[in-house]
Amino acid sequence: MDNNDILIRLRYALEIKNKEMAEIFKLGGVDVTVPEVIQILTKSDDDMEDHEQINCNNSMFDSFLNGLIIFKRGRQEPKPEQSNQPEPVTPKTANVNNLLLKKVKIALALTTEDMLDIFENAGIRVSKGELGALLRKEGHKNYKECGDKFARNFLKGLAVKYRG
């Protein structure tokens, strides 16, 4: 599952309009117009006469997820002791599926129980330990890489929860 496909599914699950998508990208630090959003959300196998699909790379996807957090929860004011510290940089090798789980959890203020319910809505049972391993920082001894099947089921469960 590529980043464009994840964005298409996330947009559907959360009922985000094209204009809001452009705003979310902008909040994350990437200037994208509404026509470009449409090109990002166009599946590559669709009939594209005038438009070419814009490929969403990992950096652009991470910016979108950061923008989603700001869009849903508001911009966080830095604490005085954090003012001199640089922004945390997401590693370029990070698994985008793990980032998806972590950042959507933050953006929607989901608890562990909420996330377990979302997976259950998609028809799979996940233990707290498994979920904790998926949400850990890459490099931690109990870190587990999130596969496409888990990410797909998470997005499916989100759609069930938010679209009914």
Query: Does some domain include residue 86?
Result: no
Query: Does some domain include residue 112?
Result: yes
Model confidence pTM above 0.95: no
Query: Does some domain include residue 80?
Result: no
Q: Quote the CA–CA distance of 98 and 85 in Å, as a whole number.
A: 25
Judgement on whether residues 103 and 55 belong to the same structural domain of the protein: no
Judgement on whether residues 58 and 104 belong to the same structural domain of the protein: no
Q: Provide the residue range defining the domain that includes 41.
A: 3-74
pLDDT digit string (tens) for 120-162?
999 999 999 999 999 999 899 999 999 999 999 999 999 999 9
Q: Quote the CA–CA distance of 131 and 157 in Å, as a whole number.
A: 15
Query: Does some domain include residue 91?
Result: no
Judgement on whether residues 59 and 102 belong to the same structural domain of the protein: no
Query: Does some domain include residue 149?
Result: yes
pLDDT digit string (tens) for 97-118?
999 999 999 999 999 999 999 9
Work out how many domains the chain is built from and give that number. Answer: 2
Q: Quote the CA–CA distance of 115 and 67 in Å, as a whole number.
A: 21
Query: Does some domain include residue 84?
Result: no
Judgement on whether residues 69 and 104 belong to the same structural domain of the protein: no
